[in-house]
C-alpha cells in the first residue's frame, strides 16, 4: 500500500521537501496506524529543512509533530480499542519503562524520539505512533484541525507556565511571541489561572490581537523598550517572565523581573548561548528555571481543557495538503497569529 507524503531528502530550505509516493508505514505490535486528518506546523519543521538541530534527525524525513487523525489499523492488541477513533497524537515517544518514564517525566527518557522530528511525522496521509501516545477526543465539539494545534505549543505552554513555572493567580507574567502557538496558548492558560498577562509581539496588529485574547496590555517589542515598558506598567517589574526566545532576550527577561522574580527558560529561537550579568540575579534574588519536558498527565490535562472549552485553538490559517510549500512560506514570513495547519484528506 502506498501513500503521499512530503519527504525531505536534502538540506537547504523549502526546496529540499517534495511530495512523494512512498510505502505506507506498518505499525509494530505496540503501535497503531493513524490516517492523518490535520497536521500543524512548528518552527522546528522549518529549521530542520536547513540543518539537523535535534540529535537523531536523519534523512529522508517526514516533518509534522502536531497530528490529529483517525486510527485505521493496529499492530497488536494494545491499540485495538482505538481503531476507528479520532485521536490527537503526543509526539514524544519514549520507552515507557525507564525510571523517568515510570515517574511520568518522559522528557528525560534516554531513548526519547519525537514524531515529526526524529521519526516520521504527520505531513503524510498516514503516520505510525505508539498506541499509548494516542489520546481519543470527542469530535462533537472539536475538529482535527483544532486538535492538531494542541500538542507541541499548548502542552509545552501548560507545562512551562503551570508545571515548571508554578504560575499563581494574581501574578504578572510577561509572554513574548504573542502571535506564536506558544504565545496564544500561554496567554489563555495564564488568564485561566488568574494571572495578569503582559504580552510582547512584533507589530501593532499582533499586539491588539493579543489583548483581544486576554492580555492586559501588549507591547510592540520592535518599537518600544519593552523592559522599561514592563517596569513602567507594573511599577516594580514582573513576577514571571517566560523566555521562549533565548539569546540576548534572556538578560532583558531578567531585567524585567521584580525583586525575587523568576525567568523560565523554554526556548532558544534567538540562539543557544546567552550572556548575563550575574549581579542582575544575585543582588535581587531572582531565579532562572529550566523548562524540561511536559508530562503525560499535563498532555491529558491540556486536551481536557480544550474539550471543556477552557482553552480555544487559535488557528491563523488552513492549507490543503498540496499547498504545504505555501504554508511553510507563511511560517517563514512570521506574518501569522496562531497555528498554521494543514488539512489532509
Q: How far is the CB of 244 from Zn ion (least distance, A)?
A: 26
Which of 22, 44, 138, 25 is closest to 91 using CA atoms?
A: 44
Q: How far is the CB of 93 from Zn ion (least distance, A)?
A: 10
Q: How far is the CB of 119 from Zn ion (least distance, A)?
A: 15
State which residue, 101 or 254, has the beta carbon closest to Zn ion.
101
**Contact criterion met (CB below 8 Å) for 57 and 150:** no
Please give the residue whose beta carbon sits closest to Zn ion in the complex. Answer: 109
> Residue 134: beta bridge partners?
89
Q: How far is the CB of 106 from Zn ion (least distance, A)?
A: 6
State which residue, 69 or 106, has the beta carbon closest to Zn ion.
106
Give the DSSP letter string of 281-338. Answer: HHTTT-EEEE-----HHHHHHHHHHHHTTSS---EEEEEEGGGHHHHHHHHHHT--SS
State which residue, 8 or 94, has the beta carbon closest to Zn ion.
94
**Contact criterion met (CB below 8 Å) for 213 and 219:** no
**Contact criterion met (CB below 8 Å) for 94 and 111:** yes
Q: How far is the CB of 28 from Zn ion (least distance, A)?
A: 17
Residue with cell 528525560: 108
Give the DSSP letter string of 138-165. Answer: -TTT--HHHHHTSIIIIIHHHIIIIIIS
Residue with cell 498506541: 131
Task: State how far the Cα of 55 lies from the Cα of 52, in Å rounded to an integer.
Answer: 7
Cell of 342: 494543514
State which residue, 3 or 95, has the beta carbon closest to Zn ion.
95
Output the CA torsion sign for 184, 187, 191, 192.
Answer: positive
Cell of 335: 506574518
Residues 98-127 that bind Zn ion (CB under 5 A): 98, 101, 109
Q: How far is the CB of 293 from Zn ion (least distance, A)?
A: 11
Strand 315-320 and strand 339-343: pairing?
parallel
Q: How far is the CB of 39 from Zn ion (least distance, A)?
A: 26
State which residue, 105 or 220, has the beta carbon closest to Zn ion.
105
State which residue, 108 or 284, has the beta carbon closest to Zn ion.
108
Q: How far is the CB of 144 from Zn ion (least distance, A)?
A: 29
# residues near Zn ion by CB under 5 A: 5
Residues 176-215 that bind Zn ion (CB under 5 A): none
State which residue, 29 or 83, has the beta carbon closest to Zn ion.
29
Binding mask 60-99 for Zn ion (x = CB under 5 A): ----------------------------------xx--x-
State which residue, 101 or 195, has the beta carbon closest to Zn ion.
101
Binding stretches for Zn ion (CB under 5 A): 94-95, 98, 101, 109
Amino acid at each position: 500500500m502506498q501513500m503521499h507524503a512530503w519527504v525531505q531528502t536534502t538540506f537547504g530550505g523549502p526546496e529540499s521537501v517534495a511530495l512523494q509516493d512512498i510505502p505506507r508505514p506498518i505499525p509494530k505490535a505496540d503501535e497503531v496506524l493513524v490516517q492523518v486528518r490535520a497536521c500543524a506546523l512548528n518552527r522546528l519543521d522549518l529549521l530542520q529543512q536547513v540543518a539537523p538541530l535535534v540529535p537523531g534527525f536523519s534523512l529522508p524525513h517526514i516533518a509534522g509533530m502536531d497530528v490529529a487523525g483517525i486510527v485505521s489499523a493496529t499492530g497488536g492488541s494494545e491499540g485495538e480499542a482505538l481503531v476507528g477513533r479520532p485521536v490527537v497524537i503526543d509526539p514524544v515517544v519514549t520507552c515507557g519503562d525507564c525510571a523517568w518514564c515510570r515517574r511520568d517525566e518522559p522528557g528525560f527518557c534516554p531513548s526519547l524520539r519525537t514524531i515529526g522530528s526524529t521519526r516520521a511525522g504527520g505531513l503524510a496521509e498516514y503516520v505510525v505512533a505508539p498506541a499509548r501516545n494516542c489520546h481519543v477526543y470527542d469530535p462533537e465539539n472539536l475538529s482535527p484541525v483544532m486538535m492538531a494545534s494542541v500538542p507541541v505549543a499548548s502542552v509545552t505552554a501548560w507545562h512551562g507556565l503551570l508545571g515548571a513555572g508554578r504560575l499563581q493567580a494574581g501574578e504578572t507574567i510577561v509572554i513574548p511571541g504573542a502571535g506564536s502557538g506558544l504565545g496564544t496558548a500561554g496567554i489563555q492558560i495564564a488568564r485561566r489561572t488568574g494571572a495578569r498577562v503582559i504580552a510582547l509581539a512584533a507589530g501593532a496588529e499582533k499586539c491588539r490581537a493579543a489583548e483581544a485574547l486576554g492580555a492586559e496590555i501588549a507591547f510592540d517589542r520592535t518599537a518600544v523598550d519593552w523592559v522599561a515598558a514592563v517596569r513602567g506598567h507594573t511599577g516594580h517589574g514582573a513576577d514571571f517572565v517566560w523566555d521562549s526566545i533565548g539569546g540576548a532576550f534572556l538578560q532583558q527577561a531578567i531585567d524585567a523581573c521584580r525583586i525575587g522574580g523568576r525567568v523560565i527558560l523554554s526556548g532558544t529561537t534567538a540562539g543557544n548561548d546567552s550572556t548575563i550579568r550575574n549581579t542582575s540575579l544575585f543582588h535581587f534574588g531572582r531565579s532562572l528555571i529550566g523548562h524540561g519536558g511536559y508530562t503525560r498527565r499535563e498532555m491529558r490535562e491540556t486536551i481536557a481543557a480544550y474539550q471543556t472549552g477552557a482553552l480555544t485553538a487559535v488557528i491563523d490559517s488552513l492549507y490543503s495538503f498540496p499547498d504545504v510549500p505555501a504554508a511553510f512560506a507563511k511560517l517563514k514570513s512570521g506574518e501569522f497569529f496562531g497555528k498554521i495547519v494543514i488539512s489532509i484528506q
